[in-house]
Each structure stands twice: as structure tokens, then as C-alpha cells.
């Protein structure tokens, strides 16, 4: 334990996701010791983010306005919606530059053991977005883990309707790995999702 | 013994730091284990899907001070993939692992382990309707924990059945002489189904009609919630046959 306020800083930092006691200590001492570190700027940005950033009223992505920059962009196709768990997944997919449609952020995955059911996610909002028939494809891009797969199962069953294509991101072998290390589930998925390379 | 090896089923996982998870497992011989799986959230992790909930593994652990560390894991039963393909099975499996988590500790767990693995395997293979598998699992896991309900003889006096008054707090059906006024009554078909679920008599259980099944489900849920302090979070999300689509 350190004296008073330094320990308070370590405790606060340690409450942040992904920061354990050791990292919290390291960051705290960096702030205390490094003269060039601009504490005011960090404090201002934290306050500003809290004040300005909210969630897009259409897709649930983070935004500084009523709707996010992707939903406002007229060059993006309104016919395709990519469904993700978190706003950080939007960033990950945007980095690929492969996708030119719109997004829908669920706010998590269905996990009954954590008390999270379908009604706790932005699923009703997704269904509403599909009502006018503009959207012709929904790409389900939930995480390739158990909760993400279960959420995809639920959504697929819920969304299937005439005139709407529901697809799921392919999952399979990680690029750069050895086949022999792949587990049964991953390898099984890779077989399911195999594609034609020559015809 | 800093290193040990055991068969275990993954109950649940929690994110830890950037890429790790804390994995809670119910093992065959070492009771409940909480261990860190390092780097498991990276897509390149050698663990892959082996340490996801509902997976049964043969694993090697390194004994740590507060948490152990998973060193290796080989799949014995890859039930997760089949379970998540059916939403009712997924919600049922959630309620099962939550129950197992609550009913076990560091001590002897062989019976609970075998029961849970059997139930998950049955769900993955779609052997019975998911709701019935869950209901049977709940009754049997509570029975192993020492809370076997009585559906025949009076739970208080032992007077031979049949009795119709069912009192959760008293441990099952009770004779009219000891039943508190206003006790709920169960019909013969529901009691027969409950008995079948407790003993694993599937032909009888599957022959029960929808109304009887939902009666039994209500009784079992009340019984489980009473014995497990704080209740089960997942139970309200369990999808039953004919439930919301
Ligand atoms: Zn938006």
C-alpha cells in the first residue's frame, strides 16, 4: 500500500477493464514521475468524452452526434446490415475496408448465466430496422465464441423471412497457424465453411 | 504437487486482462477448479475452442497461489458447438452449468461431474427435448447435493403415498395431516412425470403432455430456486418448447 492519494490513483486505474494491480501501479508512477506527461489534457479529454459521446440512435455505434458518421454517409449501402456485439467490432471491420454497408451494434451477446437475455440487447431495434424492406442482407458478425455463436443461432431463427438473406461470417482456421494445432470445433467450422477453389 | 492432471467440464469463463480468461471447471477428482487460460482470446491461441463453456477436456494445470494455470487441454467431448446450434439447448445448458457451479466446491465432485457431462452430452445429441433434460438434471443434481425431493411418500412423516399437497419448504409431497392450509396440489400425472425425471425414466417422461410438463417445470424451478441461495440467474432465460420464437 502506498500513501493516500497515490494509492487512490492506483485503485481508480485498477477499476478499468484490462488493468490489473501491477499495470495500475506502473501507470500511476508514470503519471507521478514523468514531468512531460500532460495531466490536464488527459483530464480534459476524459471529461469531454463523457459529455459529448453517446450512442447512434440508429445503429448503436459510438457517436458525437444523434447519428454516427457511418449511418450519415450517403455512399454506404443501406441494403446490408452487419450485426456486431460491440462498437469496437465496428472499428475492426472498418479496418478491413471490405464492407460498405451499415452496422448494428447489439451491446453484447446472449449469456443467460450472466443474466443477459435477448431483451437486454438491441435486438428489437434491429428487427425494426428491417421492417420497411430496404435491407436485403443481414451479416451476423458476432464473436466466434460460444456466446457469439448462440446469439447468431437466435438471430438467424428470428430474422429468417422472405426477401432477406441472413449470413454469418465464416469462421475457421486462423491464418498463420499450423493445422495440427487447430481444435475440433475450429477445424469442424473450417470444413463447414470450405469453398470452391476451382470449377 | 505443483502440476496435476484431471478430466473436467468448463462451467463458465470470465475475461481477464487483454487476452486471458479465468476458466471455472468442474473436475472429476479435484472438485471445482478456477484457472487462468493465458492468451485464450487471441484467434491464434493453441487452446482454440477447447476451453469454452460445455467443453469436456483432459487438462493439465499448474497449481498457483490463488488461481491455477491451464497448461494443456485436450478435448474429450466437444459439446459446445452442437449445443449452441439450438437456442433451447443453449439456454438449458446455461442453467445446468450455473447449477453445477453453485452446488460444488473444492471437495468431492465425481457424481456431479458425471451427471453434468451426461446431461450436456444428451443435449448435444438432442436425445430428449432440452427442457426435459434440464428438469431431470436439476432434480438429480439437487438430489446428489442432499436435497432429494419426495414425490411419493410424505416428506415429513414418511406416510406412504400418493399425496397431492406439494410443499417446497418441506421437501416434496406431504400427507394432508401435515400440509399447511392452502398448499398447492399436484395431479397424479405431474407427480408421475416428476418421479420419472428424478429417476431418469425417459419413456415415461417423454410420454407426458405439454400441460403436465409445464406444471412439472414450475415445481422444479421453485424447488431449485428455494435450495440455491440467491436463485439461478439463467433460469428465467431458459427457452421452453412453444416459448417465444
Ligand atoms: Zn449509426
Radius of gyration of chain A (CA): 21
- pLDDT tens-digit series, residues B159-211: 998 999 999 999 999 999 999 999 999 999 999 999 999 999 999 999 999 99
- pLDDT tens-digit series, residues B14-33: 988 888 999 999 999 999 99
CB A148 within 8 A of CB A142: yes
Which residue range forms the structural domain that includes residue B15?
Answer: 3-78
B94 touches chain A (CB under 8 A): yes
Give the pLDDT band (50/70/90) at residue A165: very high
Residues B136 and B120 both lie in one domain: yes
Residues B60 and B17 both lie in one domain: yes
For residue B169, is it within any domain? Answer: yes
Between CA B164 and CA B132, with CA B217 as vertex, the angle to 5 degrees is 120
Residue of B nearest to A160 (CA): B245
Which pLDDT belongs to residue B245? 38
The CA-atom distances, in angstroms, between A176 and each of A91, B44, B197 are 22, 8, 49
Among candidate residues B27, B54, B78, the one where a domain is terminated: B78
- pLDDT tens-digit series, residues A47-90: 999 999 999 999 999 999 999 999 999 999 999 999 999 999 99
Q: Which of A29-33, B42-46, B235-239 has the lowest mean pLDDT?
A: B42-46
A170 touches chain B (CB under 8 A): no
Residues B67 and B41 both lie in one domain: yes
The CA-atom distances, in angstroms, between B31 and each of B4, B6, B100, B115, B139 are 13, 10, 11, 14, 20
State the smallest CA–CA distance between residue A22 and chain B in angstroms. 11
Give the pLDDT band (50/70/90) at residue B49: confident
Q: For chain B, what is the domain count?
A: 2
Contact B81 A188 (CB under 8 A): yes
Residue A13, pLDDT above cutoff 90? yes
Which pLDDT belongs to residue B241? 66
CATH number, domain containing residue B52: 2.40.50.140
Which pLDDT belongs to residue A85? 97
Among candidate residues B78, B100, B118, the one where a domain is terminated: B78
Contact A150 B87 (CB under 8 A): yes
Q: Which residues of B touch A116 (CB under 8 A)?
A: 237
Nearest CB to A113 within list B17, B46, B234: B234
- pLDDT tens-digit series, residues A90-140: 999 999 999 999 999 999 999 999 999 999 999 999 999 999 999 999 999
Residues B46 and B115 both lie in one domain: no
Residues B66 and B86 both lie in one domain: no
Residues B91 and B115 both lie in one domain: yes
Give the pLDDT band (50/70/90) at residue B220: very high
For residue B245, is it within any domain? Answer: no
For residue B151, is it within any domain? Answer: yes
Residues 130-159 of B with CB under 8 A from A: none
This complex has an ipTM of: 0.88
User: A66 CA distance to ligand 1 centroid (A)?
Assistant: 9
Question: Residue B56: which H helix or E strand, with range?
Answer: strand B55-62
Which pLDDT belongs to residue B244? 40
For residue B60, is it within any domain? Answer: yes
Give pTM, 2 decimals: 0.88
Q: Are strands A54-55 and A80-84 parallel, antiparallel or unpaired?
A: unpaired
Half-sphere exposure of A190 (CA within 13 A, CB side): 13
Q: Is A51 exposed, middle or buried (0-12, 13-18, 19+ CB in 10 A)?
A: exposed
Among candidate residues B61, B78, B95, the one where a domain is terminated: B78
A184 touches chain B (CB under 8 A): yes
Residue B145, pLDDT above cutoff 90? yes
- pLDDT tens-digit series, residues B80-119: 989 999 999 999 999 999 999 999 988 878 999 999 999 9
**Region label for B17, one of left (φ > 0), alpha (ψ between -120 and 50) or beta (otherwise):** left
Nearest alpha carbon to residue B87 among B145, B39, B139, B126: B126
For residue B176, is it within any domain? Answer: yes
Q: Which residues of B touch A115 (CB under 8 A)?
A: 233-234, 237
User: Hunting for cell 429468417 — which residue is that?
Assistant: A160
Residues B112 and B205 both lie in one domain: yes
Residues B149 and B61 both lie in one domain: no
Q: Which residues of B touch A117 (CB under 8 A)?
A: 236-237
Residues B133 and B50 both lie in one domain: no
Amino acid at each position: 500500500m502506498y500513501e493516500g492519494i497515490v494509492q487512490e490513483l492506483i485503485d481508480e486505474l485498477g477499476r478499468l477493464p484490462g488493468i490489473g494491480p501491477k499495470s495500475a501501479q506502473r501507470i500511476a508512477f508514470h503519471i507521478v514521475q514523468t514531468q512531460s506527461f500532460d495531466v490536464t489534457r488527459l483530464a480534459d479529454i476524459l471529461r469531454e468524452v463523457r459529455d459529448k459521446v453517446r450512442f447512434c440512435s440508429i445503429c448503436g455505434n459510438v457517436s458525437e452526434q444523434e447519428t454516427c458518421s457511418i449511418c450519415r454517409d450517403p455512399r454506404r449501402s443501406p441494403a446490408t446490415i452487419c450485426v456486431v456485439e460491440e462498437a469496437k467490432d465496428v472499428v475492426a471491420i472498418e479496418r478491413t475496408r471490405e464492407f460498405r454497408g451499415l452496422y448494428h451494434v447489439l451491446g453484447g451477446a446472449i449469456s443467460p448465466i450472466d443474466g443477459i437475455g435477448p431483451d437486454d440487447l438491441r435486438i428489437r431495434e434491429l428487427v425494426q430496422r428491417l421492417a420497411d424492406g430496404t435491407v436485403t442482407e443481414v451479416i451476423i458478425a458476432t464473436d466466434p465464441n460460444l456466446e457469439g455463436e448462440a446469439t447468431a443461432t437466435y438471430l438467424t431463427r428470428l430474422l429468417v423471412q422472405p426477401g432477406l438473406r441472413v449470413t454469418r461470417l465464416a469462421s475457421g482456421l486462423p491464418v498463420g497457424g499450423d493445422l495440427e494445432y487447430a481444435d475440433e470445433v475450429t477445424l469442424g467450422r473450417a470444413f463447414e465453411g470450405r469453398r470452391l477453389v476451382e470449377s | 504437487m505443483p502440476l496435476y492432471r484431471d478430466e473436467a467440464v468448463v462451467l463458465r469463463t470470465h475475461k481477464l486482462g487483454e487476452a486471458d480468461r479465468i476458466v471455472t471447471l468442474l473436475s472429476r477428482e479435484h472438485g471445482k477448479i478456477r484457472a487462468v487460460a493465458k492468451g485464450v482470446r487471441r484467434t491464434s491461441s493453441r487452446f482454440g475452442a477447447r476451453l469454452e463453456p460445455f467443453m469436456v477436456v483432459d487438462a493439465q494445470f499448474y497449481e498457483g497461489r490463488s488461481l491455477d494455470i491451464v497448461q494443456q487441454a485436450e478435448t474429450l467431448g466437444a459439446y459446445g458447438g452442437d449445443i449452441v446450434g439450438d437456442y433451447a439447448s443453449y439456454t438449458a445448458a446455461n442453467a445446468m452449468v450455473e447449477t453445477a457451479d453453485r452446488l460444488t466446491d473444492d471437495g468431492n465432485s465425481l457424481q456431479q461431474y458425471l451427471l453434468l457431462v451426461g446431461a450436456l452430452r444428451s443435449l448435444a445429441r438432442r436425445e430428449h427435448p432440452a427442457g426435459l433434460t434440464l428438469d431431470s438434471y436439476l432434480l438429480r443434481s439437487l438430489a446428489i447435493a442432499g436435497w432429494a425431493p419426495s414425490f411419493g411418500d410424505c416428506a415429513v412423516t414418511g406416510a406412504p403415498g400418493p399425496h397431492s399437497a406439494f410443499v417446497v419448504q418441506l421437501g416434496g409431497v406431504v400427507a394432508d395431516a401435515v400440509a399447511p392450509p392452502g398448499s398447492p396440489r399436484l395431479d397424479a400425472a405431474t407427480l408421475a412425470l416428476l418421479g420419472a425425471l428424478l429417476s431418469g425414466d425417459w419413456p415415461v417422461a417423454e410420454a407426458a403432455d405439454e400441460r403436465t410438463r409445464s406444471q412439472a417445470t414450475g415445481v422444479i424451478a421453485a424447488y431449485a430456486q428455494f435450495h440455491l441461495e440467491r436463485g439461478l440467474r439463467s433460469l428465467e432465460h431458459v427457452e421452453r418448447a412453444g416459448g417465444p420464437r
